[in-house]
């Protein structure tokens, strides 16, 4: 399991010289980390919180960003939790809420269970494999960046990619 992705950059590949990156069986790039630092919320029974991870780039993590475009992902025992738009909407039905003002991530598991006693994973990465442009860079804002890192004829295969928040 690779907690970091990888970046193929520079002038690589061509019509007669493909660059190939092939994973062995079972190789996984994971964009999440297990969290065991949840604290019980003092206001609501069965609700726990932890610091919200700062994803990079964080332009998706702004209060004005629609919920459908937010990159936050939370999994409990391999199952994705549903995201709600307000803390008051949290119910013991495997839900989570992100509070932008306090930089907290709230979780409410089935039956109000303590998330520290479960395998709770929170997405912390927004990319797994970057080809050409440096990860989280926008070539359309800087066309020279795209020219500098132009890559062609690359084949990537065999990787299992999980829990990338984007």
Q: Is the pLDDT of residue 3 over 90?
A: no
pTM above threshold 0.85:
no
Please give the pLDDT value at position 138. Answer: 65
Please name the residue ranges forming H helices in 15-160.
143-148
Using CA atoms in the order 78, 81, 96, 59, what is the torsion angle rounded to 10 degrees? 90
Please give the pLDDT value at position 121. Answer: 95
Higher pLDDT, 105 or 14: 105
pLDDT band at 58 (very low <50, low <70, confident <90, very high): low
Percent of the chain with pLDDT over 90: 49
Helices (H) and strands (E) in the chain — how many of each? 1, 15
* CA separation for the pair 86, 3 (Å, rounded): 30
């Amino acid at each position: 399991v690779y907690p970091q992705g990888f970046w193929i950059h520079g002038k690589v590949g061509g019509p007669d010289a493909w660059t190939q990156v092939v994973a062995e069986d079972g190789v996984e790039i994971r964009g999440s980390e297990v969290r065991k630092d949840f604290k019980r919320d003092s206001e609501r029974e069965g609700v726990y919180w932890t610091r919200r991870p700062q994803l990079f780039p964080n332009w998706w993590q702004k209060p004005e960003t629609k919920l459908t475009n937010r990159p936050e992902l939370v999994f409990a025992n391999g199952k994705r939790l549903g995201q709600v738009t307000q803390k008051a909407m949290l119910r013991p039905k495997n839900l989570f809420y992100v509070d932008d003002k306090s930089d907290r991530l709230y979780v409410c598991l089935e039956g109000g269970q303590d998330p520290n006693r479960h395998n709770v994973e929170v997405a912390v990465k927004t990319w797994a494999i970057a080809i050409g442009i440096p990860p989280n860079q926008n070539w359309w804002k800087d066309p020279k960046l795209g020219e500098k890192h132009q890559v062609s004829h690359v084949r990537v295969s065999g990787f299992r990619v999980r829990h990338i928040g984007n």
